[in-house]
Chain A
Amino acid sequence: MSPDFLNFIETVLNGLMTGVMYSLVALGFVLIFKASGIFNFAQGVMALFAALTLVGLQTGQVPFAHLINAVLGTDVHHWGPGLPTVLAILVTMLVMIALAFLIEKVVLKHLVNQEPIILFMATIGLAYFLEGTGDLMWGADVKALDVGLPSGGSFWWEDVTRNWAPAGSDYFGMYIDTLDVSAAIIAVVLVVALTLFSQYTATGRALRAVADDHQAALSVGISLRSIWVIVWSIAGFVALVAGIMWGAKSGVQFSLSLIALKALPVLILGGFTSIPGAIVGGLIIGVGEKLAEAYVGPLVGGAVENWFAYMVALAFLLFRPQGLYGEKIIERI
């Protein structure tokens, strides 16, 4: 194999890894959209919030320290050495469940019969609120997140691939981050777990019933509100996983919530209601974006990644507005 071709493969592989991350965020969107028809713009910020909370608990930060100090004139910052990682993750999960409960109670309950676009804008407001709250609670500085996953380039893979190039050529093997590999594995496990959950548990069946037809589900005695809390909790869990992965990779910081924006084109490709769609869409966008950056980027000054996904979504929308896996809509009047 020629080095050029090997470089191409490396780009595709890296794209796939990034794509897995997009898929993870998109998955949270799809879950909520299926169960409640809400396009949850705050999914990315939920990931940020989860990651911030996790780091705060791990390192033993005092929540709202900054605010407390400003108001009371004290100087608190840490309450101790922090929780062990596993415990911190559990507590963060509890926080995300509490958050789901609050969101249902304070926001969704009051917007039940509103139009989708109003709900969409409400979740934009929610995103801002969560972002401000997260910053107030834990501070806005960039934080390192380490949950003990391996990271850094894989030397084994580099050695294996170096031999694929013809002898004597100037090729040093492929670079693959082991963190990306674990992220991919975790994502696969997560999707399998979610599928099993929705197929084989009573709650899962209720979820699917609600996704299919709200009215019908209500009439057979499924409580819509508790379903919403459950769905938002699951989405919170997915956000936590995404937050851990992204946070471990590039630090916990605001840009994390921008990933949510990248998940939007993923959803357009995959359709808003399809879990396989979210996965495939994420991979397509991830690979496409890396390839565009590698092969088109140098011609136009780089940073093509910033808009590539959106342009793909735009072009795609013009030809297939219902997404890869969506059903064709027949309009009635």
Chain B
Amino acid sequence: MNQHIDPGSLRADDGIEKGGMLLHVDNISLSFGGVKAISDVSFDIKKGEIRAIIGPNGAGKTSMLNVINGFYHPQEGTITFRGEKRRRMKPHAAASQGIARTFQNIALFKGMTTLDNIMTGRMTLMHGNLLTQALWVGPAQREELAHRETVEKIIDFLEIEHIRKTPVGRLPYGLQKRVELGRALAADPALLLLDEPMAGMNLEEKEDMSRFVLDVNQQFGTTVALIEHDMGVVMDLSDRVVVLDYGRKIGDGTPDEVRNNQNVIDAYLGVSHD
């Protein structure tokens, strides 16, 4: 998608080769009032790959994504994104660095239309100020139209033209998931975090969504990190998998390696933890 986006885009080129390190997570520990959610987890994400994060319920997967995009601040450890090391960061700052995200429980703006929701995804790329916005005619309208074209391409890509003007609160679950993906794509992300993009879907919807994720990854070269429970989907889609259990990393590698890892098998079959 990087090709047809306006030249002012922040992240058109970050100088990282495909296969180079995009993100490092180093020794992250996170706790809430004494309850450990993540303890000492490290892994990395390479540019252009699909990285899956799996694990049983309560393993700390969503918390991990929240740490990566700055919503939770870990007590220990650092995140290195595109060579820049950080410990604390505001979520919107992470967004403007190119980390986009979808959510486990859909977090769309329910009162807004599909179009407006996806346009919101381009927030960090638009520069209109109060004055030009107030006048509308001129720079504000030009900017709006330019971004609208990109957004319309995303709408075409996700095959949701027919619901362009529908408030998303009225859409069925599967379509909402798709709109949410659209909103994340609109940010022209360098790293796309997907939190259970296929949860609660039927087979057909899952196939559609898998196709979209693969297309995004292959056509546009977008790096994807996804949390998913459906092992079939994970094994098919992802290049590498990291496995969390009780906030610790218990496996990391290609799908095949992970499948044969004894710790992972134990965690999933429920071997006791002592």
Contacts and interface: CB of A to CB of B under 8 A. Distances in A.
Interface of A: 328, 330, 333
B66 A333 contact: yes
B71 A328 contact: no
Contacts, number: 9
Closest A-B pairs by Cβ, 7 of them: A330-B32, A333-B103, A333-B107, A333-B71, A333-B66, A328-B33, A333-B105
Chain A interface, DSSP helix/strand/loop, else mixed = loop
Contacts of A330: 32
A333 B62 CA distance: 8
9 contacts: A328-B33, A330-B32, A333-B62, A333-B66, A333-B71, A333-B103, A333-B104, A333-B105, A333-B107
A333 to B, nearest CB: 6
A333 B66 CA distance: 8
Given A330-B32, A333-B104, A333-B105, 6 more contacts: A328-B33, A333-B62, A333-B66, A333-B71, A333-B103, A333-B107
Contacts of B105: 333
Interface of B: 32-33, 62, 66, 71, 103-105, 107
A19 to B, nearest CB: 32
A260 B271 CA distance: 57
Contacts of A333: 62, 66, 71, 103-105, 107
Contacts of B104: 333
Nearest to A327: B33
A328 B34 CA distance: 13
Nearest to A330: B32
Contacts of A328: 33
A330 B31 CA distance: 11
A330 B107 CA distance: 17
Nearest to B101: A333
A234 to B, nearest CB: 34
Nearest to A328: B33
Contacts of B103: 333
A289 to B, nearest CB: 34
A328 B35 CA distance: 14
Nearest to B195: A333
A330 B33 CA distance: 10
Nearest to A331: B71
A145 to B, nearest CB: 47
Contacts of B107: 333
A221 B183 CA distance: 42
Contacts of B32: 330
Nearest to B103: A333
Nearest to B71: A333
A207 to B, nearest CB: 28
A282 B68 CA distance: 43
A333 B71 CA distance: 9
Nearest to B105: A333
